[in-house]
Structure 1
Amino acid sequence: MSKRVILISVLLMCRLPVALAAERPVSRVEGVYISTGDSHFLGGSLPVDSRASIEAAFDMLKHVFGIKRIYWRGLQEAAWMEVMHVREENFRSASFHHWSHQLLREHDLEKLAVQIAHAKGLELWGVGTLGDWGATPETPSFTQFPMSAEARFRIEHPEWAPVDKYGYRRQGGPVELAYPDARDALVDVHTRLTRAAGYDGIIFLSYVENFSTRFPDEFGYSDPIVDEFERRYGVNIRKHDFTRYASRADWYRLRGEYLTQYLRELKAALAPDGTKLGMFVNPRTPRMPGLWATLPHTYFTIGKLYFDLDTWVEDDIVDLLAIYGGSSRAVQAKTVRDCLWMTRDTDVSVSFVTTGLTDPVWQPIFARGLGAIYAAGEDQHYLLRSRIPAQTAEALTSGTLYEQMRFLSQVIDGEATVASAAVIPFAAHENMLMRRLAVFALGRLKDPAALPVIEAALTDSENGVRCKAMQALRDVHRPESTARIIDCLAQFGNHPLGEMARDTIPRLRPFPREELTEAALNHGSADVRRAIIRAFGRGPATADDLPLLKQALNDSDRYVRAAAIRTLGTVRNCPEAVELIVEALNHDDVAMSNRAVDALENTIKRRDRDTLELRPRMLQAAVGLFRKMGDGCKRADRDWGYRSAGNALLAFGDDGEAALRDFMDQSADKRLAELAWRVLYFREKAGDNKFNIITEKENEEALKARPAWLKTIEIERIAQDFESDRTFGGSVSGSVGDVHSIPARWNHFGPKGPMPWMQTAHSGKRSVRLVRGGNGMNGWVVGPNGPDPELDYELRFWVFREPTGSFVVATRDGARRANETSVLVGGNGSVFLRNEVEGPGWMPTQLTIPEGKWTRLSVRVDRPRKMFGVALLSAAGEETKSSVAAPLGPVERVNSVSFYPQAPLGAACCLDDIELVERR
């Protein structure tokens, strides 16, 4: 070996004490994604809540990755703070919203982040949401009801929320972009916030975080969409199936056109400032929206709408396509290559989000000069995956700032160890990220000698350091640590500190129950009392804590009271706790009664041996709370309390479902029946963080079961007004019309009747006169064109009774010549129903059709109950309904309507505007 080679080898080895020699794949990182909301909520993620923390974070990211851009999800957070109505009864989420408001208000955080980025030579792009604008209060989210917040523009314009094809359920999250005013509202809020902050660009995520959608095509039937689809393709998608030439794909593309129009309008609004526009792209299905990272991980939570990437690129609507993660990296890389091809010879850039910078799949893409967007959570995650190689302990004495951070990250991750004395000095470092890493590493090292340092960090000037110190105490602590935690909460109490304390306190060993109880009972800080009561609910609460929880139920702070009732629900095998929960169901504060019924649900699901005998009492209490939600309810939880109570009833299994079915089947309280049906048939979640996915067919079955008065969509199966001169003009005999059309085919016309009649009509110029001594009249369509045999339907027509005019009308299965319903109008106008199954034959209804006045007769079929009834409507619009109902006759499918004149001879009635409509 030559002297020159030996010398080079020695020089290289001199570096080994600090950096571990290792071959590292080449990676290019052009930007880093920071989810500010997660950071502000949790306290453990990379801190970005102050000037010092943002300065330190941006410096670190620039040096360890060499980035040029920050993707800052603060735009979404700022937009939420701008437009959201916060529901205080969801205490945990409301606490976050208030903390976020405070940060944005006190620090002008978005503008501050942009200024810091620019001072360091970095761009900052605001990351916003395409459609996560909250939801109605009964929409399920991560935790309890109500849904935490909803944009005021959704509340003020409920029609903007995408609707299902029945016009009944509203989707949580997006607004329907087919409404021009909705697009204007979104353009306005994003333009104002972008100009105020000074973002270099904005880019959108396209998933929403709630559990309202139960199958992929559930929503998207708003009026403008339905109307435009019918104009283009001749199909009303609320009433009729998609076809080969009017397909679901056409529907997705139509909705996507309005998305493209929104982006086009937003780009135009941003253009004067030179602000760029981008979109995160789904790697698996790039022309569909993104996927939320929750079970089953394959779900378009914003709905299905076409992402027209080609038009966005061709028309210069977007400046960047960033391929999101959430797929195999091979699939993601393929989409990156496809987008590079699509954007060739254009000014549109392409990038991709990954946590796996060293995966070989990226090497060919890096070789083309493309950079990645790195995404992580806690501080150490960024450093461990940075371009700084692994370090040895010597880095703490001779390494650079970021080599030292890298080594501390290895200690946190369990990849290295070192004496705590070598780490302690870094807990006082001027860089707040270094202090966080040092304190967290000291916790991981579990050296009791370091506890004074960790505890001292609870009073650090930076909230991010205080949060890490709270987290570090989970791994190592002493009896004195409890007082330090309490003092920290009392002095600095805020949302992320409370979250950290909630999860740290239950891990203290030996568990300081007496000290915590004293503080929870008597401390002057509500932040202290909240954190302790919430922490007790994480596991250690026992029957011995009942005196504490009883007093906490009457705490001056509403959040403490609600936390106490939830914590009671974690106490096992304790009849006294159950009694307190049951009593709280009658609390005047709806937040308390709802948290109480949540606690009741948890207790029932556990099936504690010592409380099983109280099961009937618990069921009765839950039924009582649900009953309060009915007609005339004026409770503050009127729109969402039924969900909490209903879910508790479902936890009782068959007994709870039976109670709900009793509510649903009664007719005295319509609202109660409707809410019970919702609870039984709309179960959006299958777990704490899992959608309850159903099929479209299952949804149809659920909608069939809803109370009859909710079935407002009508599909005409037969509709005849006798106005066609071609069909009914002149002398008509025999059969006329078409069995394949809605006007239907009508038969038995003749000189003795039935006959077209010009002397009187309800509407237009003509009716049909039915005369005793002539024939009956039958109108029919081919079988498949009649009402669905599983859906409700209504036959309605207008009748003009001449003196003693009498007739029978029946809905029939023409092929089998069997009646499903029969109604008799007697010579004196009395209306009767026929029991086609058994019983006394004709049943009086106490309704009468007068002579000489046009009156509408409706025959209404309720399929779930297998019954039918009648109603009359006067020409003045006054409706009277019979309380009598008769069972349906046994038929396979109704496809005809028959009218039979009755005695006396020559008695006549005129009929007009006959409709047979299916109700959905």
Structure 2
Amino acid sequence: MTRGECMKMYVYCSYGDELVSSKKQPVDSPAAVEAMIEWMSRTYNVKRMYWRGAGEELWDRTMQFGKETPFGYEYAAVWKRHTLQSGTTRALVSAGKRYGMEIIMYTGLFDYGVQPDIGIIGPYMFEDRGRIEHPEWCMRDRWGERRCPGPFEFAFPEARQYVIRRYVEEIVRNDYDGINFYTYVENCGLRYLEEFGFAEPIVSLFQEKYPDIDLRKGRLSDEQTEHWYACRGKFVTDFVRELHAELKLHGKKLSIILDAENPDYVQPWWGKSVPGTGYIRTDWQTWIAEGIVDELWVQLAEIGKQTSTLDNLLRSCAGTSVKLVVRTPKPFDPVWEPYVSAGVTPVAVITSPVNGIERMVKAPPSTALLHSEDWIHRSQGLTDMAEGRIEGDVQAAIVLAQDRNLVVRQRAMRALKKFGTSAHLPIIYAGLHDEENCVRVAAAEAAGVIHDGDTPGRLLAAIESDDTFLMKSACAGSLLAIGENSLSDATAGLSSKYRGVREVCAKALIGLYEIDGTALYPLLTGIVRNADEDEIIRYWTIDGLLGLCLGGRLDAEEEKAFIAELAARIDKECSTVVQLHIVRAIGKLAEEGKTACMPTNIVGKLEQLFREYGDGCLRTDAAFGWRLAGNALLSFGAAGIEILEKFREQTQNRWLAWLAYEVVYLSHQKAEFLLIDQRQMIADHEHYAPQFPGYRAWREDIRSISRLPDSSFDAS
């Protein structure tokens, strides 16, 4: 199959990943997504887009976000929300209809955020309000205590209907053509594979076949374990059946992704060895037989594993209406020819650097593209110029910097970044104030390569009117690239009335520290001390100084003073965002062997902070701050563990005892799987777990939720 053939193909756009990088396809405005739909349709005959922005837009309305993780908060709750509210969804769907391209909502079957004590560690801190308000709808462990990070429990009909109603309303309101589900969860909160899946309907179903086996005891044969996974999957099939019936009433499609390597079970997150929900059977055979899915997607993997799974699916789908698609970075590879002939449609993923449709036109690189009447050709010509595939035509780039199409203007800035000179700075400076964000960002990046004495001030002036996520990142990076000539403007910018300018300057000065650390150290620590400064700027300044300290770039006196400053603020800091980051920083410093530089009372201060999360806690971070305080105590080894064990063993303060148990025996210090043995966990729970106090809701009006039913367990 050659590129010249006009075969049907589909595309997946991972909207959030596109938004976080200026190097990817711009999707941050109505004009940007309209341009994307046009070139994909005209050049590659794309007939469907799986749009993750649809899922992200729903998340924006249904999730609670935590500003205590500033990067994720600004990206998800500020920058992403800004782009969505500009009308990108309406523009995308409208453009799709003009070009005959279906728009499919792409989202997670089990991915509904995480409880904040997991999210505060990573990868993000947001959770579905339905999970917060109804913890009884979540997957829970065998004792009915710990909630699985991510999913609702589909064994509960009310949870299924809550989610189904939401999806159907969203799909109909936005006129999407259907919905596609991935089946992994994007977190590493699981502690052992058999941790979750003990809702009463699952236990009852399991005991229909094994009435003498107590599922919660954890002593199952391989056959019994597989049956348990199937029991969990039975209720996923119930959800699929019920959702499909509702979607069918509106003429909408249901598509589900299967793991290519292990299609009988839910997916692990990319690069992970196990699924974050534990194993759940994906009964695709029943889905096909009953016709309760319209499409199955074979996920990216080694081609041999993909084709093996496709072969099985093609046999099972023969004579049915179920369609098949396959994700691939090489949609035109001859290996797919027999599958395309059999009705399988390749899915290219534009987020990936290699995706098969990297070029916006099929024509080879040529300077003639720069002078085409077609904006798609002009854009590709400028990309070829910026990436060195054709000779630099600066005059063409100058002209195209004023093009009516935003993608052309963006690529013109990239071309000038490579071939321009200081004589072209007026064009770049004009680009800093373009009506489209992607052009402004490209201009800011170009200014880090082509600059003069006015450039730092020009960048900061641009931030005054555009302090969005990528623009701040681009300007901070360019100030750093300019180097010493940025110092004066960046230092003065710390006093700007514009919050975005102060943030960019603080970040830039961290990067410029080695040029004049003696002068910069008091400025940066002054930001940390200044309670009137924006808490997010203080957070990033602490983060930067911590990096300098751990990287050995502070001298001995500066290091000692920095650590003393952090220690002094543990019990004096008024901002929860800043206080928790100080605690996190102290924990990292202790892990790196910096305890000799710390005041002798620092462990006592952490002990007192952890105590604040006990019974009657009124802190706004009552549901999660204890995790960082406890982890910091763990970083001090035996001394910290002794304090936590003392808290666990006492009986007067139930919350204090339980949280200490979680920190020590359900450790979560890094955003990665730290799996333990099931039998060890059951033994630890039997010997060390205090009485479970219930759930704390993640909200400002902190309240305890009473212990839920079905949570008793005899581990004997």
Deviates more, 1:703-712 or 1:304-313: 703-712
Deviates more, 1:565-574 or 1:79-88: 565-574
In structure 2, relative to structure 1, the CA distance for the partners of 1:378 and 1:595 (3 Å cut) is same
In structure 2, relative to structure 1, the CA distance for the partners of 1:354 and 1:417 (3 Å cut) is farther
Task: Indicate the percent of aligned positions where both proteins have the same amino acid.
Answer: 26
> Partners of 2:263 and 2:650 in 1: how far apart?
49
The answer as to 2:284 corresponding to 1:309 is yes
The answer as to 2:79 corresponding to 1:99 is yes
In structure 2, relative to structure 1, the CA distance for the partners of 1:379 and 1:422 (3 Å cut) is farther
Tell me the matched-pair count.
683
SS at match of 2:459: helix
Quote the offset at 1:617 in angstroms: 4.5
The answer as to 2:138 corresponding to 1:158 is no
In structure 2, relative to structure 1, the CA distance for the partners of 1:630 and 1:508 (3 Å cut) is farther
- Alignment check: 8 A CA contact 2:68 2:120 kept: no
1 or 2, which has the higher helix percentage? 2
> Partners of 1:42 and 1:175 in 2: how far apart?
31
> Partners of 1:236 and 1:27 in 2: how far apart?
58
SS at match of 1:193: helix
Other-structure match for 1:461? 435
Q: Where do 1:682-697 residues align within 5 Å?
A: 682-684=666-668, 686=670, 690-697=672-679
Deviation string 1:622-649 (CA, Å, 9 cap, x unpaired) is: 3332233233332221221111122223
> Partners of 1:180 and 1:467 in 2: how far apart?
47
The answer as to 2:619 corresponding to 1:635 is yes
> Partners of 1:473 and 1:120 in 2: how far apart?
37
Q: 2:216 aligns with which of 228, 238, 249?
A: 238
Q: Where do 1:498-897 residues align within 5 Å?
A: 498-510=472-484, 512-520=486-494, 522-536=495-509, 540=513, 542=517, 544-551=520-527, 553-572=530-549, 573=554, 574=558, 575-586=560-571, 587-607=573-593, 612-614=596-598, 616-667=600-651, 669-684=653-668, 686=670, 690-709=672-691
In structure 2, relative to structure 1, the CA distance for the partners of 1:131 and 1:380 (3 Å cut) is closer
Quote the offset at 1:530 in angstroms: 2.5
> Partners of 2:408 and 2:438 in 1: how far apart?
11
> Partners of 1:240 and 1:377 in 2: how far apart?
42
- Alignment check: 8 A CA contact 1:440 1:472 kept: yes
SS at match of 1:278: strand
SS at match of 1:508: helix
Quote the offset at 1:382 in angstroms: 7.0
Deviates more, 1:389-398 or 1:56-65: 389-398
Deviation string 1:865-920 (CA, Å, 9 cap, x unpaired) is: xxxxxxxxxxxxxxxxxxxxxxxxxxxxxxxxxxxxxxxxxxxxxxxxxxxx9547
- Alignment check: 8 A CA contact 1:379 1:433 kept: no
1 or 2, which has the higher strand percentage? 1
Quote the offset at 1:117 in angstroms: 0.7
Q: Gaps spanning 5+ residues in structure 2: where?
A: 695-712
Quote the offset at 1:153 in angstroms: 1.0
Q: 2:471 aligns with which of 465, 483, 497?
A: 497
- Alignment check: 8 A CA contact 2:12 2:49 kept: yes
> Partners of 2:449 and 2:257 in 1: how far apart?
38
- Alignment check: 8 A CA contact 1:139 1:172 kept: yes
> Partners of 2:674 and 2:255 in 1: how far apart?
32
The answer as to 2:320 corresponding to 1:346 is yes
Q: Where do 1:204-223 residues align within 5 Å?
A: 204-223=181-200
Quote the offset at 1:536 in angstroms: 4.5
Other-structure match for 1:831? none
Deviation string 1:171-226 (CA, Å, 9 cap, x unpaired) is: 11110001111011111110111111101121111111122113332211122222
Q: Which residue identity does 1:583 align to in structure 2?
A: A
- Alignment check: 8 A CA contact 1:471 1:504 kept: yes
> Partners of 1:474 and 1:248 in 2: how far apart?
58
Q: Gaps spanning 5+ residues in structure 1: where?
A: 1-21, 713-916
SS at match of 1:277: strand
Quote the offset at 1:668 in angstroms: 5.3
> Partners of 1:387 and 1:370 in 2: how far apart?
24
Other-structure match for 2:365? 391
In structure 2, relative to structure 1, the CA distance for the partners of 1:301 and 1:447 (3 Å cut) is farther
- Alignment check: 8 A CA contact 2:329 2:356 kept: no
Deviation string 1:692-721 (CA, Å, 9 cap, x unpaired) is: 233324433543452444599xxxxxxxxx
Deviates more, 1:258-267 or 1:133-142: 133-142
Quote the offset at 1:349 in angstroms: 1.1
In structure 2, relative to structure 1, the CA distance for the partners of 1:28 and 1:476 (3 Å cut) is farther
Quote the offset at 1:341 in angstroms: 2.1
Q: 1:131 aligns with which of 104, 110, 127?
A: 110
- Alignment check: 8 A CA contact 1:390 1:407 kept: no
> Partners of 1:187 and 1:691 in 2: how far apart?
30
Deviates more, 1:533-542 or 1:311-320: 533-542
- Alignment check: 8 A CA contact 1:384 1:409 kept: no
Higher relative contact order (CA 8 A, sep 6+): 2
Other-structure match for 1:58? 37
SS at match of 1:597: helix
> Partners of 1:673 and 1:529 in 2: how far apart?
42
Quote the offset at 1:75 in angstroms: 2.2
- Alignment check: 8 A CA contact 1:711 1:919 kept: no
In structure 2, relative to structure 1, the CA distance for the partners of 1:568 and 1:359 (3 Å cut) is same
SS at match of 1:171: coil
> Partners of 1:417 and 1:162 in 2: how far apart?
59
Other-structure match for 1:375? 349
Deviates more, 1:174-183 or 1:398-407: 398-407
With the length of structure 2 as denominator, give the TM-score of the two structures.
Answer: 0.87
- Alignment check: 8 A CA contact 2:3 2:362 kept: no
Quote the offset at 1:361 in angstroms: 3.1
Other-structure match for 1:36? 15
Deviation string 1:241-272 (CA, Å, 9 cap, x unpaired) is: 22466x11111111211111111111121222
- Alignment check: 8 A CA contact 2:536 2:577 kept: no
Q: 1:83 aligns with which of 36, 55, 62?
A: 62
In structure 2, relative to structure 1, the CA distance for the partners of 1:536 and 1:269 (3 Å cut) is farther
> Partners of 2:482 and 2:563 in 1: how far apart?
27
Larger radius of gyration: 1
> Partners of 1:323 and 1:156 in 2: how far apart?
35
- Alignment check: 8 A CA contact 1:163 1:220 kept: yes
With the length of structure 1 as denominator, give the TM-score of the two structures.
Answer: 0.69
Q: Where do 1:160-179 residues align within 5 Å?
A: 160-179=137-156
Q: Where do 1:330-345 residues align within 5 Å?
A: 330-345=304-319
Q: Which residue identity does 2:605 align to in structure 1?
A: A
Q: Which residue identity does 1:683 align to in structure 2?
A: S
- Alignment check: 8 A CA contact 2:483 2:512 kept: no
Quote the offset at 1:495 in angstroms: 3.0
> Partners of 1:220 and 1:317 in 2: how far apart?
24
> Partners of 2:669 and 2:133 in 1: how far apart?
27
In structure 2, relative to structure 1, the CA distance for the partners of 1:711 and 1:439 (3 Å cut) is closer
The answer as to 2:157 corresponding to 1:180 is yes
> Partners of 1:46 and 1:506 in 2: how far apart?
25
User: After the TM superposition, which parts of structure 1 deviate over 6 Å for at least 4 consecutive aligned residues?
Assistant: 22-27, 378-382
- Alignment check: 8 A CA contact 1:64 1:387 kept: yes
Quote the offset at 1:655 in angstroms: 4.2
- Alignment check: 8 A CA contact 1:131 1:173 kept: yes
SS at match of 1:374: strand
In structure 2, relative to structure 1, the CA distance for the partners of 1:24 and 1:47 (3 Å cut) is closer
In structure 2, relative to structure 1, the CA distance for the partners of 1:256 and 1:422 (3 Å cut) is same
Other-structure match for 1:273? 250
